[in-house]
Amino acid sequence: MRITITARHFKAPEALKTFVRDEVSRLEKYYEGAMSSDVILSWEKLSQVAEIILKVSRQNLAAIEKSEEMRKSITLAVEKLERQLKKLKGKKQTRAKSSVKNVDGAMAKKNSKSFQVELP
């Protein structure tokens, strides 16, 4: 997974960057495939903001969290993305199951022939 970290209005220490990489890489277990993420860390008055944009096969998932500590904001944003990924994965599995059922039903209708037997 490609992770891009941007710090607005401050220089992010290496320890914070490592924490971001560890937290965001947790998301890989929920979705297999090519993913990339943009993490934007910023300050707004007294709150610290973490914004994570996750690019997953044709879709962008985003989470923005504010709190008094940057690590807490990052953790909350990652948890929000975990829920979004679980929901996305569930939708894809449901669609795949329903399409298989539709194909099986269509094949059954196609293969079934009606016979008429005349008895003397």
Alpha carbon 43 to its chain's center? 25
Q: How many CB atoms lie within 10 A of CB 63?
A: 20
Q: Which of 60, 120, 109 is CA-nearest to residue 84?
A: 60
Element (DSSP H or E) covering residue 50: strand 47-56
Question: What pLDDT is recorded for position 103?
Answer: 55
Q: Which of 27, 24, 22 is CA-nearest to residue 40?
A: 24
Q: What pTM does this model have?
A: 0.75
Q: Which of 61, 17, 64 is CA-nearest to residue 35?
A: 61
Helices 70-111 and 14-25: crossing angle, nearest 10°? 20
Question: What pLDDT is recorded for position 59?
Answer: 87
CATH 3.60.15.10 is the classification of domain 2-89? no
pLDDT digits 0-9 by tens, 32-71: 776 899 999 999 889 999 999 999 888 899 999 999 999 9
pLDDT digits 0-9 by tens, 77-107: 999 999 999 998 888 777 666 766 655 555 5
Strand, coil or helix: 49: strand
Strand, coil or helix: 15: helix
Question: What pLDDT is recorded for position 24?
Answer: 93
Domain boundaries, the chain: 2-89
In degrees and rounded to multiples of 5, residue 69 shows phi and psi of -125, 140
